[in-house]
Structure 1
Amino acid sequence: MTAITTTLAPSGGGANAPALGGWSGDADYFRFQEHQGYQPQAVLDVLRGKVLGAVFRGMVPAAVCTELAERFWRNGEARSRDGEAPVRYIGAYHYHKTTRTYLDECAEVEAALDDVLAVEGDPLTVFYDGLAGALAAEGGTVRRAAHEGREACRGVLRSWFGRGEFALLPHEDRGQCGEPQQADFEIQRTADHQICALNICLENGAGGRLGVWNIQPDENSKRRLGTVYTGSPYPVEALAGIESAWLTIDPGDVYVFNGSHVHAVEPSEAPDVRRTTLSGLFGFIDDTTVVSWT
């Protein structure tokens, strides 16, 4: 299996296609490090901007993936959302909300999320415990983002079901972290560092690849495209000619990458095939402290 395909996108899009400006990395940076099993030190390389991403193949045992997926799909607390990013999920999203509203929703869903994740070898705990150990060796810590004594959600279980060209349209995660309604929330301090996305694959059939473009859009581009505080969506024509990497993911694989890059998810090739992940965001808020949120 070819796990990663790096391509230079065709230069189409027409003379009127909006140019997308921003930061692009060199060949040493724009790649996914491949590992068999979990290597927490590789996560630190992503957090510190040394490399685009890292993939930990087969990190989660098949039996754990199956049990978590089954618990997710039969849980009556799961919600559905339509719009540009249709999804079924258990968890809370900070996107476009006040800090209070987000943390209220985190508290409301905590019991349901804990119930689904109550399996031996919960991969979210394994991931963050491993990262905590790597950080502790350097005098650092990792914890959930907090405000006035309340904590962010542990993670989000989700299954994207968009059936167009993308199940999840091209977007980046930095814009939403500047939401003015969350000016009091410590996650906004990640803007001075790298904002990393975590995805733990529980189910996936043919297709369902992650696509990442070698561009972190600049403020001028964001203002022109209206993505300053949303990070989404970026028109496909704006990405024409920008190098991209396409990552094939199997159940049990865990991957992290710099979410400030424009990225998207392809739909599964068959409409009855589900792509289910356990996901979250994390980043440094100072030189030694990493926080996570959803």
Structure 2
Amino acid sequence: MNQKASTRQETQPLSGYRGDAGYFRFEERTEFDPELVLDVLRGRRLGVIFRGVIPAKAQRAITDRFWASPARRHRPGEPSHYVGSYHWNKSVETYLAESEAVRVDVENVLDVPDSPWASFRDGVSTALARHGATLRVARMHGTSAGPALIRAWTGAGAFSLAPHDDAAQCKDPRQAGFEIQRTLEHEVCAVNMCVEHEQGGRLVIWNIRPDDPSRDELGLRDTGFGYPADVLAGFDEIRLDIRQGDVYVFNGAHVHAVDATEGNRTNVSCLIGFTDDRTVVTWT
């Protein structure tokens, strides 16, 4: 694993939580271990990466279905293609309606032999059951969130996906009452399954979970998207090589990004977190 942590001690431009050295690291395995996923969900470790655990045939099948899907869209103003729905910067009504409209299309992309999506959910569900908890897709008023978001980032520049955090977006007042907002009392984590990868595209993650005053100063309170690189310069960082076939889970409240990518970097993704001691939900 190629991890590089900086050690600069400049005055910090953001305030918030920073983990110690024992926490701010990625655990690496070559076999899937859902108990390590639970450690991330409980805030005991920053992240875990499972190397090469997606079978090659499943990688190719999902990738082919994704690019051929009639539901594939290009996200306006951003260098990405996607199948699915995303809750970022929307009302909960809009998000749930979009999720319902493309649910079958998402399931069609993921419904392949040895699907990593099914294997991940089955493994985490079994591990949670041993602790008296359950895993399900988030819902509101009888309508479920998206089961997954399949997307390819192809952006040019220093970051193909700009620095952002995944916790701020869960504070959006237009989503009041949506149960994902209760995950903020625990940990908001990201799940990614890499089914297509050419060159570059490392995960970059900084040792800072910004607080609301910092987000307010930058105008990012309810979106968490678009942290300027200069405000992150003084924080320890990890740049993690991502390879085709990897599955990785990390605490998405930390500012993170994807660095320069050449070619396609296609992931099956979702967000995940506890809403209470016995319930874990996913959404997109």
**Normalised TM-score (structure 1):** 0.94
Which residue number in structure 1 is paired with residue 6 of structure 2?
7
Which residue number in structure 2 is paired with residue 72 of structure 1?
66
Q: What's the CA shift for 1:9?
A: 5.5
Superposed CA offset, 1:98-140 (max 9, x none): 1111111011001111111120111111101100100000100
Distance 1:102 1:285, change over 3 A: same
Any gaps of 5 or more consecutive residues in structure 2? Answer: none
CA contact under 8 A between 1:35 and 1:55: conserved in structure 2? Answer: yes
Which residue number in structure 1 is paired with residue 41 of structure 2?
47
Summarize the alignment of residues 157-196 of structure 1 with structure 2, pairs less than 5 Å apart: 157-196=150-189
Give 1:19's aligned amino acid.
Answer: P
Which residue number in structure 1 is paired with residue 30 of structure 2?
36
Which residue number in structure 2 is paired with residue 208 of structure 1?
201
Which residue number in structure 2 is paired with residue 114 of structure 1?
107
Any gaps of 5 or more consecutive residues in structure 1? Answer: none
Is 1:59 the counterpart of 2:53? The answer is: yes
Name the CA distance, whole Å, in 2 between partners of 1:262 and 1:163.
20
Distance 1:9 1:246, change over 3 A: farther
Percent identity over the alignment? 46
Superposed CA offset, 1:245-268 (max 9, x none): 011011110000000000000132
CA contact under 8 A between 1:169 and 1:264: conserved in structure 2? Answer: yes
Name the CA distance, whole Å, in 2 between partners of 1:27 and 1:167.
27
Give 2:49's aligned amino acid.
Answer: V
Superposed CA offset, 1:143-186 (max 9, x none): 00011111111100000121121010000000000010100100
Cα root mean square deviation, aligned: 1.4
Name the CA distance, whole Å, in 2 between partners of 1:9 and 1:186.
39
**Normalised TM-score (structure 2):** 0.97
Summarize the alignment of residues 1-294 of structure 1 with structure 2, pairs less than 5 Å apart: 2-8=1-7, 11=10, 19-83=13-77, 85-268=78-261, 270=262, 273-294=263-284
Give 2:278's aligned amino acid.
Answer: T
Give 1:293's aligned amino acid.
Answer: W
Name the CA distance, whole Å, in 2 between partners of 1:134 and 1:190.
19
CA contact under 8 A between 1:3 and 1:249: conserved in structure 2? Answer: no
Deviates more, 1:47-56 or 1:74-83: 74-83
Give 1:62's aligned amino acid.
Answer: A
Number of residue pairs the alignment of both structures matches:
284
Give 2:26's aligned amino acid.
Answer: F
Superposed CA offset, 1:7-29 (max 9, x none): 23685xxx9xx811111000110
Q: What's the CA shift for 1:86?
A: 2.6
Give 1:70's aligned amino acid.
Answer: D
CA contact under 8 A between 1:9 and 1:244: conserved in structure 2? Answer: no
Q: What's the CA shift for 1:37?
A: 1.6
